Amino acid sequence: MTMAGNPPEIKYFNRMTGKTEVEKVYGDKFIKFLYRSAPGKKIGMAFTNKYFSKAYGAFQDLPSSHRKVRPFIEKFNIPIDDYESGTRPSLDVRDSYRTFNEFFIRKFKRGKRSFVTDQNKMAAFAEARYVGFDAVDEQSKYPVKGNYLLAKDLVGNDQMAKIFDGGPLLIARLCPVDYHRYHYPDNGKVLEHFAVPGAYDSVNPFALQFKNQIFIQNERYVSILQTENFGRLAYIEVGAICVGKIVQSHRWTKPFLRGEEKGYFLFGGSTVIVLGEKGLWKPSRDITENTKNGIETYLHLGQEVGVKA
């Protein structure tokens, strides 16, 4: 963490480069004000409710919001040539998005990402920064100073949560600069799905240090999946500050394939959590080792994120 008065510093391990890197935080001063300052704490409810987030998300759908796209791409060094163009006629892909939200939910070009095919390996369901635990129990804290993460609190349904007691856990945090579509980690079908109402706090690690129950108090959508190779999974999409909407693009009644898109988040960083049944699989070793050291592991979509136990 940086010295008082400076924006927070968030470090993560990048599996692709093999190095520890520092995250460029979008809206870092606002997050610091909201969760660290006395005035921010007093007015926090005005910003962490669904009405503010949906209104802010709607702003990103205005035609004028397209002017934010090019500066955002340049400031955060987004490799925009990896993505499909938007629907606005333009010679430069950076100017091809009609709104900021169209840019925010951009798709990868075909062939830019591939999903691991080994049935013993679970595919990364988001391009994100991951933490993981072999078993969800009273040692499972995120971040290190955070709250206990228990299945019953994350799922929001005590009966269904029993399936995942003592099982593995993965948390994938998506920053505003990231690809914001999430995918299925294996073949299978949806058994149940339901919404859990809640707040819209930031999921930034800095915010979690000051308000450590965010994952169990934020709005989220829960799907119980039956997969071919990893048993039942609780797949949980967590809303966050300025997330205009969590969109489910896959029909619940239709079986899904490994790598198929499940849905996407409109503007704002957010999180996908996956819980598993005890003893069937575990997160990849580098993820759990980095988690023990209080650091996230950045993965590309489709890379190995877990293995059969």
DSSP assignment of 167-236:
--EEEEEEPTTS--EEE-SSSEEEEEEEEE--B-----HHHHHHSTTHHHHB-EEEEEEEESSS-EEEEE
DSSP assignment of 108-149:
BPTTS------TTEEEPSSSEEEEEESS-STT-EETTTTEE-
The structural domains of the chain, with segments of one domain joined by +, span 121-308
Interatomic CA distance for residues 299 and 175, integer angstroms: 13
What is residue 242's DSSP assignment?
T
Give me the pLDDT at residue 57, please.
57
What is residue 256's DSSP assignment?
B
Average pLDDT over residues 282-307: 96
Give the pTM. 0.82
Give me the pLDDT at residue 106, please.
97
Asked whether the predicted pLDDT for residue 184 surpasses 70, the reply is yes
Amino acid identity of residue 292, one-letter, is K
Asked whether the predicted pLDDT for residue 252 surpasses 80, the reply is yes
In which band, very low, low, confident or very high, does the pLDDT at 195 lie, cut at 50, 70 and 90? Answer: confident
Interatomic CA distance for residues 153 and 260, integer angstroms: 28
Asked whether the predicted pLDDT for residue 142 surpasses 80, the reply is no
In which band, very low, low, confident or very high, does the pLDDT at 198 lie, cut at 50, 70 and 90? Answer: low
Give me the pLDDT at residue 150, please.
77
Asked whether the predicted pLDDT for residue 48 surpasses 50, the reply is no
Average pLDDT over residues 97-113: 95
Give me the pLDDT at residue 211, please.
42
Interatomic CA distance for residues 307 and 309, integer angstroms: 6
Contact 239, 246 (CB under 8 A): yes
Average pLDDT over residues 110-131: 97
Higher pLDDT, 149 or 10: 10
Rounded to the nearest integer, the mean pLDDT of the chain is 82
Contact 197, 171 (CB under 8 A): no
Give me the pLDDT at residue 151, please.
83
Q: Give the contacts of 263 (CB within 8 A, at least 6 positions apart).
A: 181, 182, 237, 246, 247, 248, 249, 250
Interatomic CA distance for residues 114 and 259, integer angstroms: 8
Task: Compute the chain's Rg from CA coordinates.
Answer: 19
In which band, very low, low, confident or very high, does the pLDDT at 282 lie, cut at 50, 70 and 90? Answer: very high
Give me the pLDDT at residue 158, please.
87
